[in-house]
Amino acid sequence: MYYLELIDRFWDFNQKARLGSSAISMYLHLLKLGKDNDSYKVVISDVALGNALGITRKTITPTKKKLRELGLVEFESKSGFPCNYRILLNYSFDIPIPEKIETIKIEKVPSLEIVEKQETLKINNPSDQVSSKISKANDKVSNADTSKIKKSIAVPELEEFIRFATTLEDYEPLLDSVIEEKYHSWLENDWKNSSGRPISNWRSSLKSILPYLRNYQIDDAVSVDSIPNIRRPKTS
């Protein structure tokens, strides 16, 4: 389990998300339990989790939902049974920021004569038209710069991407589908990683992330409870 790497990634994520003490302590505790069991799956009841963290059950429910909404964990809970958590690896750093609605206080209603004068000044003022043209010109320049940046980044074809992956030490054939998903996710994100940084050297990035993909795929393929292979006894 990539325990230290996940902790470093989590603290970088918290710099932007500002999760709060309850969410931080819950995630780190789940991560510690996963490390002790060498698995990204953790089974623990709300009562046991509350006792370990020193928080009430009412606090646990919204806290674990917050971690799930941010893509840090997944969980399934049934009444009367412990909660099954799964620690996610490649969560996104893009956090939606709620829009702030400003409240405007109207102290005095202007008279009709003042309003008419203000509207007349707006119509006769040519600076607004000039500002509009400058703004449109800046938008065109910005779009042109963005286009140049995209052209400057060498994005490989999918076949080349997978072919290079097969040469890496951690590659296994069962990773083909996961590698293809990673290629498309980078492509849809304008060839940027989950932290929003442009991928200038995709070979180096793929080589670094392949162990995570391999561990994630293997952990997902193994069931929680392994069923032993029981052979029937030979009859005499």
**9-87 classified as CATH 1.10.10.10:** yes
d(CA 65, CA 75): 9
**pLDDT, tens only, 140-191:** 545 555 455 445 568 999 999 989 999 988 888 888 888 898 899 888 989 9
For residue 87, what pLDDT is reported? 93
pTM for the model stands at 0.42
* For residues 179-206, average pLDDT: 88
- Asked if pLDDT for residue 222 goes beyond 50, the answer is no
Q: For all residues of the chain together, what is the average pLDDT?
A: 76
The dihedral region occupied by 230, where left means phi > 0, alpha psi between -120 and 50, and beta the remainder, is beta
Taken in order 68, 73, 76, 81, the sign of the CA dihedral is negative
Which residues contact residue 135 at a Cβ distance below 8 angstroms, ignoring those fewer than 6 apart?
Answer: none
**H-helix segments, the chain:** 3-17, 21-37, 46-53, 57-69, 112-124, 127-152, 158-165, 176-188, 202-221
Percentage of the residues of the chain whose pLDDT score is greater than 70: 66
Confidence of residue 84 (pLDDT cuts 50, 70, 90): very high
Q: Decide: 49 and 29 in contact? Cβ < 8 Å.
A: yes
Q: What is the pLDDT of residue 89?
A: 85
Summarize pLDDT for 117-144 with one digit per residue, the tens: 555 555 455 555 555 655 665 565 455 5
Instruction: Give the model's pLDDT for residue 29.
Output: 93
